[in-house]
């Protein structure tokens, strides 16, 4: 087997001499450790509080908090209704009960009305959906139009979009997110999965969202792009944003998160601290419901 990186052959060997971890290391040029280490970031006051969130038998009395500068993971088996919980927090689905509070000022949580995604966005909450192509992007449209979707007011006047302002905003995010693209006018459908995902994240960063909900953030992207997304999450935490990451990949959550909550049958079974979790304990909690 030959391994290519950045257009060059970096290794060749027989398959029996290679492990999956070794292949990833060769592909991305970095090893897999126990955590993505970008230095010590400061975990601050609570930025997001979810209390008693329920919707029928789908999501049942879920409560948790996420602090500014923290990456909070949510694990669970398929059917644990993790995505459904994200949709309730974001207002894409209507909850039967529950309160979502966000901190607009340091240390001051304010309960918010979550009747629609517009309410969430106004309060600084963004959702990076698991269905990137179906729900997160306008694939035939250019990068500029997709990025401006989250911040139309910044690129429009009197109800009309200013093309120059829209292109400038898009180029700013292309540069900041290191998106590989020919320019802001390139159709999103021509980008790789990893660059599409960076673009969705860039849309919300252009709006300066403070709470970011990531639903399966590395689904459908290659190993190199995965590490780019992990590093980006670390940078966002360093900036003091609060991140909630839903993933079916325990290795991924254990690599990047400060705490992991485990859902089973619509309930939050338990929350594990980094120093006190193990793969066996997380899996046992996932099966508990």
pLDDT at 175: 94
Question: pLDDT tens digits for 116-174?
Answer: 999 999 999 999 999 988 888 999 999 999 999 888 888 988 889 999 999 999 999 99
Per-residue pLDDT, 16: 75
CB neighbours of 157 closer than 8 A, spacing ≥ 6? Answer: none
Q: Confidence band (pLDDT; 50, 70, 90) for 191?
A: very high
Give mean pLDDT, residues 255-266. Answer: 94
What is the model's pTM? 0.85
Residue 39 has pLDDT above 90, yes or no: no
- Give pLDDT, residue 113: 87
What integer best gives the mean pLDDT of the chain? 88
The predicted pLDDT at position 32 comes to 47
User: Which is nearest to 98 in space by CA: 90, 89, 107?
Assistant: 89
Q: What percent of the chain has pLDDT over 90?
A: 61
Averaged pLDDT for residues 223-243:
89
pLDDT at residue 150, as a whole number: 84
Three-state DSSP string of 83-148: HHHHHHHHCCCCCCEEEEEEEEECCEEEEECCCCHHHHHHCCEEEECCCHHHHHCCCCCEHHHHHH
How crowded is residue 119: how many other Cβ atoms within 10 Å of its Cβ?
Answer: 15
Rg (Cα) of the chain, in Å, rounded? 20
**251 confidence band (pLDDT: 50, 70, 90):** confident
**What average pLDDT does the segment 268-289 reach?**
90
**Domains identified in the chain and CATH numbers:** 1-32 (no CATH), 43-287 (3.40.50.300)
């Amino acid at each position: 087997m030959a391994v290519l990186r950045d257009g060059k052959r970096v290794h060749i060997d027989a398959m029996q001499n290679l492990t999956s971890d070794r292949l990833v290391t060769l592909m991305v040029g970095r090893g897999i450790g126990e955590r993505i280490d970008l230095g010590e970031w400061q975990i601050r006051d609570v930025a997001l509080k979810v209390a008693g969130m329920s919707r029928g038998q789908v999501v049942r009395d879920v409560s948790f908090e996420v602090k500014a500068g923290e990456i909070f993971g949510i694990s669970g088996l398929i059917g644990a209704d993790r995505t459904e919980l994200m949709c309730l927090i974001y207002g894409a689905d209507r909850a039967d009960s529950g309160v979502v509070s966000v901190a607009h000022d340091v240390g001051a949580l304010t309960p918010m009305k979550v009747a629609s995604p517009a309410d969430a966005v106004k309060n600084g909450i963004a959702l990076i959906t698991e269905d990137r192509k179906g729900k997160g992007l306008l694939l035939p449209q250019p990068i500029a139009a997709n990025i401006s979707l989250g911040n139309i007011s910044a690129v429009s006047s009197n109800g009309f979009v200013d093309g120059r302002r829209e292109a400038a905003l898009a180029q700013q995010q292309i540069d900041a997110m290191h998106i590989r693209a020919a320019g802001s006018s390139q159709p999103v459908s021509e980008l790789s999965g990893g660059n599409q995902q960076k673009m969705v994240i860039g849309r919300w960063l252009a709006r300066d969202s403070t709470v970011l909900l990531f639903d399966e953030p590395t689904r459908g992207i290659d190993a190199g792009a995965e590490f780019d997304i992990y590093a980006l999450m670390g940078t966002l935490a360093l900036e003091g944003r609060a991140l909630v990451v839903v993933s079916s990949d325990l290795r991924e959550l254990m690599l990047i998160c400060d705490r992991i909550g485990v859902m089973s049958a619509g309930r939050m079974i338990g929350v594990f601290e980094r120093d006190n979790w193990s793969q066996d304990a997380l899996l046992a909690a996932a099966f508990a419901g």
